[in-house]
Structure 1
């Protein structure tokens, strides 16, 4: 079989089904990545969300016997919201990162890969394929880099010449020996804007991320956010786009090629106070279709409380007092206590002292004490 000709047919078909960029790579083991991953593991820089077996992450043969090639696909997503609602003093809003706008990209890319699989197997019935998106064992970015989709930026994102880094990635391992594409030149040069802009210093050096410090990871955790990061979360409800937004290769990049990726402004830039009392059913109906809902409502509600504290939103004090008094989850009650202290409204002291008399959870009590200390600090500042 003429595999070069088949490759050309696949490229043409990929355009028909809405794939914005496609590349082909060998299925050789990712030896350099393997070294980096072991180093990341030693430094405890991994988030814990990724596949733990480094051999599986770097050797396609372990995932599909007889693997010869990997097909990498990329779909471009929007970076701007049309008619975005404004956050005002009486109506503060949070923000979801751009990669979680629109319909959950996992489903979109899996649908594309399924169509691609069917096309290939119709042409080569004896072939075997295995597709994955994001949560699979392989590193989407390592595959995309090898396949010439883009280069790996200093912010650890794949940057494409056409769409910047605003692309979703997926891949398919195959037993077909396709002619591979060539990786493209790294165009980051001497620029270090992403490293300088990272709010938490999670980008420890070019191409190396301490995932446990990244706000993209921290917004997805379910426990109390460590004190050092609470003031850095801003109005982020899920994820962080800072290292992408400062990247010169993303300047002016905003593609609206897929209707299903268009964000609902009220979903991806939600009113903060409206997030506090959502039922499970309401949460699922409103946020269930987007990728940013996968960890459930608890982390997002905690982040909304931290965002209200960031804004020092005195209009939210009554709602936070209700959360502190009535929410059954210690993390949410405790975060509300801290936020009340951070906001510094005069009635905050009575609210926290009243809650202190009724609270039984030790961690929440510790957060109430933090809130009271913050209020005391604010009083001292005003006196000075």
Structure 2
């Protein structure tokens, strides 16, 4: 309500100033002034200079933004195909900026150079085939080349060579978390369906499918460096989007269907933490957290922990209230460390067997023991 009242006051103040300016105009001596609504040479000259000043300001602010905010760029891509994506992105930006600088410069320079002057008459011609050919065929050639280059790049990324023996991992999305299901020693995922979700079987893996017995379900994604990985995505509820920013990968996770994407990690978590870019970034973040911790401690609250970089899988679709916190840690490590970690994990078959043993250990009389007549009467009395 306070904000609404402030907006009303500002609007009324603006109207008052406008009305006062009209009164001031009406009270001026117009004998020696030009009160015409038609722009004169002085007006045209002022607007011409303003156009030049604006384009200079536009160039200066653009250069400043590219320089100052370059520290927020993502670091070097951590996947094989990431460099191709970055190249495509930078080529697109370079073409856009070239056209923008050229066209905006000409637009504002012409507005100044050909401003209205007394005795100057504009040259008019209905059409010019040469000019129309130039500004039509050049964009067509450039855009066609960019699109073809993009299609070839996309085709190389999406066509995964099965002969490379990629590691098959299912990424399962649900509000508001991720689960990873590794394909086990046979590198083949077992069948799954949301209808099979029950108890510890949170991903709905089909128990009757032998391929699923050696699957490993975990909430932290570990990837071996240098090995191709094929991700198969599945959603339990709504549309999600699996976003791997540092690996330049993203794929929609659609309910009722399986989508897939693959890449080869090239930089381990330890190596990227030691990179110059990440060391500087982590230092800046910890400096900010340190200052914030002082404020928290002064208010009697718990200070913030020191920040350490980790890869993360994020959701890039607004999928509900918990969307902002839908993330899963990714650890890229050596093949030896990955194999050692995998040996420590429990397979789906072992998990289901442990659940059955737990059920069998519960005495039948405790599960289905009938209540005595007096107990039934007491329960009914409480319910009523």
Using structure 1 for the length normalisation, give the TM-score.
0.22
Task: Name the larger-Rg structure.
Answer: 2
Structure number with the higher helix fraction is 2
Higher relative contact order (CA 8 A, sep 6+): 1
